[in-house]
Amino acid sequence: MAACGSPRIVARPPSALPRAASTVTATHHLGASASALSVSADGERVAVAGRDLLRTLSVKAGPALADDLDLLQHTKKSPNHSSNDAQWYPHRPSQLVTGATTGAVLLWDAAKAGSKLARTLSVHTRAVNRVHFQPGESTRLLTGAKDCSVKLLDVGVRSVQQLAFATS
């Protein structure tokens, strides 16, 4: 008999152990480490981002994952391409944003010919950890970074309007 408060160890045969609720149904090898992913609003594409990695995968019926587009393929290599986070633009299905380890926020357009990089916004002094569109405000992007600030950007305006909120 176990004393009050001491752990009690019970051995169970493998058949009595609980089974996993879900199983892997599709795997896709990226060739690089992923630090973020975002599913498009229609659920048909997944953006995968990381250090020297930014590509989209299509989610096929079956289910299966297939290479769709390498957004860095025709873009000049830059430290800004190392991403901590990514999110699809809610009302523009071909566009997404990434938060870079350099403090930049990058806007990408998968439908654009050649280089897919549409804009680079230098808004933080340290790595951007999170990018998130404000619900109900399709052009307003919240960013959080290691410079201890949260910024609200209106990416629909060419000269970016921004509000900064210091965090402690």
Q: pLDDT (tens digit, 9 = 90+) per residue, 22-80?
A: 666 777 888 888 999 999 988 888 999 998 899 999 987 667 788 888 998 888 888 88
pLDDT value at position 24? 61
Question: Residue holding tokens 């609980």?
Answer: 18
Q: What pLDDT, in 10s, does the model give residues 112-154?
A: 888 899 999 999 999 999 999 988 888 899 999 999 999 999 8
Q: What is the DSSP string of 99-166?
A: EETTSEEEEEETTSSS--EEEEEE--SS-EEEEEEPTT-TTEEEEEETTTEEEEEETTSSS-EEEEEE
Task: Yes or no: say if 151 and 164 are a contact pair by the CB < 8 Å rule.
Answer: yes
- Cβ atoms < 10 Å from Cβ of 1: 4
Query: C-alpha distances in angstroms, 59 versus 33, 40, 47, 56?
Result: 20, 10, 11, 10
